[in-house]
Structure 1
Amino acid sequence: MISTSASLDRPAADPTRIRAAAALAALLTVGAGLGLRAVAAGNVPKYGGDALYTILLLTLVVLAAPRVTPLRAAAVALAASWAVEFLQLGPLPAELSRRSAVARLVLGSTFNAPDLFWYVVGAAAGCLAHTALRRRSRA
């Protein structure tokens, strides 16, 4: 394996610190989503919530795998968001959402094609933030 002197100058990121930052980011994301629902109306909380949903999933990916690259974390979060959205084409999420507020928040109830775009927005924003934080922690 070939290593460069630049990589030798930088200490490896501490997984405990990364997990703590990811946990804090997850809490802040949930707070932002709840705050958005409390103060905004119309499409803003709906589509903003979609983007924040994917950002939350990205933070959970980083929490589980602290050394994951920003692009891979964003891809996993986006894939999970899309999977949940496409699951809404069937009856299961709607049925579970009728029974549980938590299921309604996590799974939604009905398929909405524009949500797919807003998940991409959330994945891109999360990827950019993750990249910036990684660069900052290495500086």
Structure 2
Amino acid sequence: MTPHMSISTMDLDHADRCRRALAEEQAASLAATDGWAHVDKDQVHRDWHDLYGEIAAAITAGATPEDAAVQELVGRHYAIASRFYAPSRVAYIGMALLYAEDDGMRTWHNSYHPRMVEFLGAAMLRYAGSAL
């Protein structure tokens, strides 16, 4: 993956595979865990809130999605998401697509920084390609 790759320039067939993987993995996990009953959802939201504040600060400071410090932050994002279930590489990319394509998710994420969805999506793509 090049540093310039983004979810908006992703191959359409690959994007569809990623969306399907996310939907299938989430549905299987929800069914197997009684709707993610094992997850402390309030703690997850607090942890994501803190993390998104750190990512917003990194964006403001001029970081790039491929920076090692940003990739460490995305590793934390993946770890938080994995409290529900450990998404596969393609499902994790599907999550980045969800953030960009769902109006509520886009608005919520971009409330931390106007470029959050774009930046986080690119960082998640990099992370998925190198760590998953």
TM-score by length of 1: 0.34
Which structure is larger by alpha-carbon Rg, 1 or 2?
1
Q: Name which structure has the greater RCO, CA cutoff 8 Å, separation 6+.
A: 2
TM-score by length of 2: 0.36
Structure showing the higher helix proportion among its residues: 1
